[in-house]
Amino acid sequence: MTFRVCFVCTGNICRSPMAEHVFRARVEEAGLSGAVEIDSAGTDGWHVGEGADPRTVQVLREGGYSAEHTARQFHQDWFDRHDLVLALDAGHLRTLRRMASTPQNAEKVRLLRSYDPAAAGDDQNVPDPYYGDLDGFKECLRMVEAASDGLLDAVRDTVEGRAA
């Protein structure tokens, strides 16, 4: 059975596509491509149909990641087809949990940086780099990469547990 993960930010052009591509690379490196599907979306529909922000594309490519992307909006019925929904900041976490129609769906929503042991504490947000310069995108990538390692461990444990 496939484990499905969706990363969610505001417009699905900066943070969530970055997280999607980084985590997809981690999953491929771990040999779990057939067992894990990765997706991303935005809480809002402002950029639906657009590609990722050019700065996201640049930072991803410089990091050795793919960058193909078309922005989409997260819809309430997506909870039914995803096992884990990862919010990039506390605002997205609140929005997604409000969208969840059941307590089980609300439990699927977590902050991405909760998987980074170095991010323990009150601030587990990945800041929105959109209104800043390229350095903000690079910092975003660093945070996403750090959290992706812990996320991979958790997903691997779940996938292997399902197979047992």
pLDDT tier, 46 (very low <50, low <70, confident <90, very high otherwise): very high
DSSP string, the chain: --EEEEEEESSSSSHHHHHHHHHHHHHHHTT-TTTEEEEEEESS-TTTT----HHHHHHHHHTT--------B--GGGGGG-SEEEESSHHHHHHHHHH-SSHHHHHTEEEGGGG-GGG-SS-------TTS-HHHHHHHHHHHHHHHHHHHHHHHHHHHHHH-
Query: Residue 95's domain is classified under what CATH number?
Result: 3.40.50.2300
Catalytic residue among 15, 55, 72, 113: 15
Q: Could you confirm whether 6 is annotated as catalytic?
A: no
Residues 93-139 have pLDDT tens digits of 999 999 999 999 999 999 999 999 898 777 899 999 999 999 999 99
**Range of the structural domain that residue 118 is part of:** 3-163
pLDDT tier, 164 (very low <50, low <70, confident <90, very high otherwise): low
Catalytic residue among 97, 110, 128, 149: 128
Q: Could you confirm whether 83 is annotated as catalytic?
A: no
**Per the structure, how many domains does the chain have?**
1
Q: pTM to 2 decimals?
A: 0.96
